[in-house]
Amino acid sequence: MVILETIAKSRAGLTFSGLARRLSFPKSSIHCLVLTLERMGYLHRTEDTGRYVCGSRLAEVANLAIEGAALREKAMPVLHGLVENAGMTVHLAVLEHLDAVLIAKLAPLSAEQIPTWSGKRLDLHCTSLGKCLIAYLPEQEMAAMVKARGLLRHNENTIVSLRKLKEELARTRDRGYAVDDQEEELGICCLGAPVFDSQGRVVAAVSLTGSTEQIDPGNCDKLVAMVQHAGFEISRRLGWSQK
Domain with CATH 1.10.10.10 in the chain: 2-54
Q: With cut-offs at 50, 70 and 90, classify the pLDDT of residue 228.
A: very high
Position 189: which residue type? C
Distance (Å) of CA 25 to CA 2, 7, 10, 20: 11, 15, 19, 8
Number of H helices, E strands in the chain: 8, 8
Mean pLDDT value across residues 200-214: 95
Domain with CATH 3.30.450.40 in the chain: 65-237
Alpha carbons 49 and 52: distance in angstroms, whole number: 9
Query: What is the end-to-end Cα distance of the chain in Å, rounded?
Result: 45
Whether the predicted pLDDT of 55 surpasses 70 = yes
Q: With cut-offs at 50, 70 and 90, classify the pLDDT of residue 74.
A: very high
CATH number belonging to domain 65-237? 3.30.450.40
Candidate from 63-77, 132-146, 153-167 with smallest mean pLDDT: 63-77
Whether the predicted pLDDT of 84 surpasses 90 = yes
Q: Is-contact 68 94, C-beta < 8 A?
A: yes
| pTM of the predicted structure, to 2 decimals | 0.75
Whether the predicted pLDDT of 67 surpasses 60 = no
Whether the predicted pLDDT of 62 surpasses 80 = no
What pLDDT was estimated at residue 223? 98
Alpha carbons 112 and 101: distance in angstroms, whole number: 21
Distance (Å) of CA 135 to CA 11, 44, 142, 166, 171: 42, 34, 8, 8, 9
The alpha-helical segments, DSSP class H, found in 40-138 are 56-86, 128-135
CB atoms < 10 A from the CB of 9, how many?
A: 9
Distance (Å) of CA 91 to CA 10, 80, 104, 124, 201: 39, 11, 6, 14, 19
Give the CATH architecture of domain 2-54: Orthogonal Bundle (1.10)
What pLDDT was estimated at residue 26? 84
Alpha carbons 115 and 25: distance in angstroms, whole number: 35
Q: Which residue has the higher pLDDT, 154 or 63?
A: 154
What pLDDT was estimated at residue 64? 58
